[in-house]
Chains A and B, each alone.
Chain A
Amino acid sequence: DGGITQSPKYLFRKEGQNVTLSCEQNLNHDAMYWYRQDPGQGLRLIYYSQIVNDFQKGDIAEGYSVSREKKESFPLTVTSAQKNPTAFYLCASSNGQTYTGELFFGEGSRLTVL
């Protein structure tokens, strides 16, 4: 079945450590996105990529980094510069060729900073 796979599902980190969240899709979608979800705030866009080897900052990119070396993969690194990294992180993709506004989501990764 086609879909988006995020890993790990749960992650604990000590302050000062960088962590990388994985996102892989087999939908053949051009565009991929990372969102952060906090209670009562909906989803906020961290980074997005519309094509391989290109990505753009979203609304809350500070303290995060990404890469897009392959069409299928869009990993997110939460760096030590992110002041409040504890959150639920969601990866999504969309079909750039026939875009209707619909996003396809992974199951999310919950990061907790100890």
Chain B
Amino acid sequence: AQSVTQLDSHVSVSEGTPVLLRCNYSSSYSPSLFWYVQHPNKGLQLLLKYTSAATLVKGINGFEAEFKKSETSFHLTKPSAHMSDAAEYFCVVSDPNTGGFKTIFGAGTRLFVKA
């Protein structure tokens, strides 16, 4: 069985300060892990993905995430927040051997960026 927990439903930062969105996962196999971003009334866009290669993954718009197997975590970070980063972020776990119907989404973290 697999599950994913996003530890914060809301995160608020000031523009120019670091962003940390936390995600823990549980999986009985070697999962693929993803972060997606969703702006209001839009679809989800892939930020980055971990698929058993390098544990530090770089994505679009300056975001990165580190896969820590010992802590079962996949936290998303960005050194300096921009107003355009305000959105909802989803941590996602999937078994690449079985297909998309095994994909599990976290409940989401809404990021607010203050000017």
Write the residues of chain A forming the contact surface with B, with a CB cutoff of 8 angstroms: 4, 6, 9, 31, 33, 40-43, 45, 48, 50, 56, 58, 88, 90, 92, 94, 96, 99-103, 105-108, 110
Contact = CB atoms under 8 A, between A and B. Distances in A.
A99 B42 contact: no
B95 A101 contact: yes
A101 B94 contact: yes
Contacts of B42: 107-108
12 contacts: A9-B41, A31-B100, A43-B105, A90-B44, A92-B44, A94-B99, A94-B100, A101-B49, A101-B100, A103-B100, A105-B43, A106-B43
B53 to A, nearest CB: 11
A48 B100 contact: yes
B107 A100 contact: no
Contacts of B36: 105
